[in-house]
Structure 1
Amino acid sequence: MTHSFDYDSSSYNKAVIDVEDYGAKGDGSDDSEAFEKAWRVACSSSKPVTFMVANDKKYKLKPLTFQGPCKSNIKLMIEGSIEASSDRSDWDGKNQRHWLLFNEINDLEVGGGGTIDGNGNIWWQNSCKIKTSLPCRDAPTAMTFSKCKSLKVNDLSIRNSQQIHVSFERCNNVHASQLSISSPESSPNTDGIHVTGTQNINITNCVIQTGDDCISIVGGSQGVKAMSITCGPGHGISIGSLGSDNSEDYVSDVMVDTATLTGTTNGVRIKTWQGGSGYARHIIFQNINMKNVENPIIIDQNYCDSKKACNQQKSAVEVSNILYKNIKGTSASEIAIGFECSKSVPCHDIVLQDINLVKEGGGIAKSSCKNVEWTKKAQALPEPCDANY
C-alpha cells in the first residue's frame, strides 16, 4: 500500500468500518484507494472490527493487498459485489499471481453472502492454453490467503477468476464453507480451491464448477479435510503436482468424504512428477458418487504437463497408504480405475473397499494397473488388475 492518508484517529474506535465512509462509490469507477484506506484503519484498530462492503453495489478493484498483522480481529463482511479491473495493464510491474491478497492476518473472518468476480474473460482469451502461439504467463488468483492463522472463509460466491479462484498458501487452522465457485468449463487453469503448504484445513459444503480442478491439494499440505463437495464440470479433486523440478515434496493426512462429481475429466486423482522425492500418504477418499466421470479413480506417478515428452527417471514421490471406500457411479471411459505407478518406487498399501463403478450407459468398466500393490476389501468393481511388475 503506497498511498498516504490523513484520517481522524477517532475512527480507530469504531466497531464498523464501511468502505463508503472512505470514498468507495460502487459506481464502476476504481475504488481501490478507498478500500486501502479503510483497511489501514481497520487493521490498526485496538478492538475487533467489522469491515463492511455494503450490498446492492459493485465495487471495482485493481490488484490489492490486505496486509497484516493487525492489532485485533477483523470480520470482513462482503454483502455486495467486488469486481476485478478488466485492464490487464493494471498488473504491469506487479505480481501477476494475485488480485486480492490477504497476507499475514490472524483471526480473520470473511463472509457476507456477496460476490467476488474476477472478470477473467480477457485473461482466458490471452492464455497460452487458448492461443497456443502466445507465451505462457501467470494470471491472477482471485482471492489468496497467505500465512493466515485461524481463518474462516464462508458464504461467498466467487466466479470467473482470472486463474485460480481461492488459494490457501502456508496457512494454519482454516475453515472454508458454503462457497459457490463457478467459471466456464473452457476457462483455463481456473482451479476452484487450491491448498498449498497449509496445515489443518476443513473445506465443507461447497459447490464448484470450473475449467480445472475443483479442489487441488499440493505440496506441504497436511491435515486436509474436504466434506460435502459438489464438483463439476472441472477436472475433479486432485492431490499432487508433487516433485516437479525434481524437488522433494509431500502431502499427508487428507480425507475427502462425501462428494458428488458430475461430468468431470477426473474423479479423485493423485499425480506426481518423475524425478522428485517425498511422499503422498495417509489419504482417504470415501462416500463419493461419480456421474459420467472420465477417470473416476487415478494415481499417476508419471504426470507430465509439457508439450514435449517427459524423460523416464528413476526417482519418484512415494505414494502409499491410500484408502478408496464406498465409491460408486459411472465412468465415461472404459478404464474406471487407473494406477500408473513408478517402477523404481511402486505405489503400495492401496486399499479398495466397496467400489462399484460401471460404464456410463451400461457395461463393464475395467482397471489398468502398473507397479502397484493393492488390497481389496469387500466388493470392488471393476475388479482390480494385476500389478504388472
Structure 2
Amino acid sequence: MASRSLVAWACLLFVLLLLAFGGAPAEARPAPGSRHRRVVIAPTPTLISTNAAADESTVPFNKAAFSVHRKLLAENNKPPKAAAPPESSGNINVESYGAAGDGRSDDTKAFLNAWAKACSSAEPTVLLVPAGKKYHVKEIPLSGPCKSEITFQIDGTLVAPEDKSDWNKQGYPHWISFTNVDRLTVTGKGTLDGTGKSSWKNSCRTNHKNPCTFAPAALTFTSCNHLKVHNIKLLNSPQVHLLIQYCKDVELTSITITAPSNAPEADGIHISHTEDIRIIKPVIKSGDDCLSIATGVKNLYAYKVECGPGHGISIGSLGKDNSDAQVSNITIDTAHVTGTLYGARIKTWQGGSGYAKEIKFLNMIMDKVKHPIYIDQYYCNQFDPLKPKPCEEQKTAVQISNVLFKNIKGSGTTKDVISLHCSKSFPCQDVILQDIDLKMKGGAKKTMSSCENVMLKQSSNVFPAPCTSVATKNDHVPEDSSD
C-alpha cells in the first residue's frame, strides 16, 4: 500500500515539474512503422509570421496576438499622407517634371524634361498634359529617335508667348516641333493657342513697310513616320497651323483649326515631301489655304473637309524660283467650302518644272466661293495690292495632267466660276469636268467659264458650259496681296 502511494506521488511530482518548465503534453501519435507511442513537446508560440498562412490544424494560433500584429503592420505600411502616388513607367505627367499650368509660369523646361524621359523609355509611353490648366511654353523642339512608341496626350491648353522676338531667326521658326520621331501619336481634347495677333500685325502682308520674315508654325512634324494626330484644336497660329514635311504614313483625324479670315499666311494644314497621307474630317477656318499640298506629296486622301473662311483647298504653289515639283495621286473626296477666295485649286509658278498629276476633286459643295474651280499656271503673289500686274510668262512650267473635277455644286460670287489658266508652253492635259453645277449666289447673273491653253479630255453635264470664253494671261491678275 505504501509503495503504491510513493508511485502516485512520484507521478504527480513529474507532471508538476513539466508544467513548471512551460511544457505541455501534445497529442501522442504513433510514428509510421512503429508500434510504440512517443511524446512531442510543442513550445508556446511568441510571434506569428504574416508572410505565411497559418494552418490551424497543426500550429497553435494566438488570435489576439495575430490581430494586434496585423494592425501594426498595416499602420507601418501606410504611405505618408502628403506623398503623391508613384508615376507609372508607362505614364508620364508634365507636372511631375515641374510644369505649373498656372497660366503665368514658363513651363518650357518641364516639357523638355518630360519628353526626354518619355523618349528614353523602352516601353510604350503616354506623355500627359492634364486638362483644365494653361501651360505657357516657348519654342519646344522634341526630337528622336525614341526607344518606343509615344502618345503625346494634350488635354490642357498650351499657350505661346505673345512676344516672339527672341525666337529662332534662322529659317522657319517652329513653336512645337517633332523631328525624327516614329510611331508617334498626338491626341487629346486640348488646345494649342499660338497667340498670333502680334505676328499678323507685323506681317509684311498687313503692313507693306515691314520686311517679310517667317513667323512660327504652331505644330510641326519633320521626318516622322507612322504618325497619327487626332482630335486636337489649333488656334490663332502666327503662320501655318499644322506643318508636315518629309514624313511617311500620316493620319490626321478630326482636327479643328481656327483663325480670323484676315490672318496672313495662316494656312490650316500644309504638307510637303510626304507620302501616304489620310486626312479625315478636319474643320478649318483660317486666313489662308485650308489645305495646302506642296511639292513632294504623293498618295494623299482627304475626306469630309470643312473649309472656310480662307483661300480654299489648294495643290501648290509649285515651281517657285525655277524649282522642280512632283505631286501625284491626290484625292479630295467630299468637302464643304464656305466663303473662301477659291474652292478646288491648282497653282504653279512660271519657270518651274516637274509635274502635278492624277488629281481628283470629288463631291464638293461650294457656298459663296469667289472662284469655285481654278487652275492657275501664272501664279505669283505680289505684296502691293495697289499695283497688281500679270506674272511674266516664262518658257518652262510645272506640267499639270490627269485632273478630274466631279460632282461639284453650289454658288460663286463672281461670274467666272470655272477658270482654267494654263501655260502656253506646257498646256494642261487630260482635264475632265463631270457633273458640275455652279451658279451665282442669288442667281442674279449667269455664270461662265474661261479657258486658256487647256486640253479637255472630257466634259459632261457641266454648267456653265466649259470654256465659254477664252482668257489670256493678261486677263489674270492676283486677287489680293496675301494670296
TM-score where L is the length of structure 2: 0.77
Runs of at least 4 residues off by over 2 Å = 92-97, 306-311, 375-378, 386-389
> In 2, Cα distance between the equivalents of 1:353 and 1:190?
32
Instruction: Give the aligned residue type for 1:218.
Output: A
- For residue 377 of structure 2, the aligned residue among 294, 301, 306 is 301
Q: How far apart are residue 306 of structure 1 and its match?
A: 2.7
Match of 2:433 in 1: 352
CA deviation map 1:20-55 (0-9, x unaligned): 000000112110000000000000000000000000
> In 2, Cα distance between the equivalents of 1:366 and 1:341?
17
Q: What is the number of equivalent residue pairs in this alignment? A: 379
State yes or no: 1:56 paired with 2:132. yes
| Residue aligned with 2:442, SS | coil
Change (3 A) 1:309 1:12: farther
- For residue 274 of structure 2, the aligned residue among 192, 195, 198 is 198
Q: Is the 8 A contact 2:448 2:469 kept in 1?
A: no
Match of 2:53 in 1: none
Q: How far apart are residue 231 of structure 1 and its match?
A: 0.5
Match of 1:3 in 2: none
RMSD of the alignment, in Å?
1.5
Identity value in percent: 46
**Who wins on radius of gyration, i.e. which is larger?**
2
Compare relative contact order (CA 8 Å, sep 6+) and give the higher one, 1 or 2. 1
> In 1, Cα distance between the equivalents of 2:154 and 2:182?
18
> In 2, Cα distance between the equivalents of 1:386 and 1:310?
24
Q: How far apart are residue 12 of structure 1 and its match?
A: 10
Q: Give 5+ residue unaligned stretches, structure 2.
A: 1-85, 384-388, 473-483
Q: Is the 8 A contact 1:73 1:107 kept in 2?
A: yes
Q: Is the 8 A contact 1:144 1:168 kept in 2?
A: yes
Structure richer in helix, relative to its length: 2
> In 2, Cα distance between the equivalents of 1:306 and 1:378?
36
Change (3 A) 1:92 1:373: closer
Q: How far apart are residue 128 of structure 1 and its match?
A: 0.5
Match of 1:326 in 2: 407
- For residue 171 of structure 1, the aligned residue among 247, 258, 264 is 247
TM-score where L is the length of structure 1: 0.95
Instruction: Give the aligned residue type for 1:47.
Output: E
> In 2, Cα distance between the equivalents of 1:94 and 1:42?
28
- For residue 367 of structure 1, the aligned residue among 443, 446, 449 is 449
CA deviation map 1:272-321 (0-9, x unaligned): 00011100100000000000100000000000113475322011100000
Match of 2:206 in 1: 130
State yes or no: 1:21 paired with 2:96. yes
Q: Is the 8 A contact 2:190 2:232 kept in 1?
A: yes
Q: How far apart are residue 93 of structure 1 and its match?
A: 4.8
CA deviation map 1:110-166 (0-9, x unaligned): 011110100101101110011110000000100001000000001111010010000
| Residue aligned with 2:266, SS | coil
Q: How far apart are residue 250 of structure 1 and its match?
A: 1.3
> In 2, Cα distance between the equivalents of 1:313 and 1:60?
48
| Residue aligned with 1:361, SS | helix
Change (3 A) 1:139 1:93: closer
Match of 1:146 in 2: 222
